[in-house]
Amino acid sequence: MSKRFQAMEKIESATAGSTSVSMFLYASFLGPITEEIVFRGFVLRSLEKYGKHFAIVTSAIMFGLFHANFIQGIFAILVGLILAYVALEYSIKWSIAFHIVNNFIFGDVLFFILGNFESTSAMIAISVLDLIFFIGGIYIICFRRKKEVHQYLQLEKANRELYLQTFTTIWMLLFMTAEILTSFMGITTL
């Protein structure tokens, strides 16, 4: 008999709203500020000398892996791409503000508002809102700012060798292995 695996406990703990004032302050304010300083301050800025595209993509991947949760990691990579672009082109202050708003709205406010709903209904409502924001972002990127985004990507294109070299260094391999193993710890058998 084959075993089925689930990661729901890890996903639910990563997406659940805060259960205490200290958790709320950490998840909505201290965490985003700290993560922005580390990933968009130190990591992004230290990689910028290799090109903006490389710095944005690499810091976003590291940000996603840092979350040590497959589902949340995918979302974190996508958000990391946006936050890195904002930090490079505008200011780290703006990426901190966006990160705080993201965690505050999607991490606490929505769960507080939907707290009286059945859990399945609440997850559907949150998924629909996420989808609306995602489609809105795609609309802005693909239709409203298509030329600017295309030009930016062409001007800031990174060398593929640089990605290969970066993601095969011993330190990056250790970091990725540790984060992936931590993600697997949240998966249990049914």
What's the CA gap between 73 and 125, in Å, rounded? 21
pLDDT at residue 143 in the model? 74
**Which H or E element spans position 64?**
helix 52-66
Confidence of residue 185 (pLDDT cuts 50, 70, 90): confident
DSSP string, 7-61: -HHHHHHHHSPPSSHHHHHIIIIIHHHHHIIIIIIIIHHHHGGG-HHHHHHHHHH
C-beta separation of 92 from 77 below 8 A: no
DSSP code, position 91: -
Q: What confidence tens digit (pLDDT) does each residue in 141-153 have?
A: 677 777 777 777 7
What's the CA gap between 62 and 73, in Å, rounded? 9
Confidence of residue 173 (pLDDT cuts 50, 70, 90): very high
Mean pLDDT confidence for 13-34: 78
Q: What confidence tens digit (pLDDT) does each residue in 67-121 have?
A: 888 778 888 898 899 899 899 988 999 999 999 988 888 777 777 777 777 777 7
Mean pLDDT of the chain: 81
On the question of pLDDT at 39 being above 90, the answer is: yes
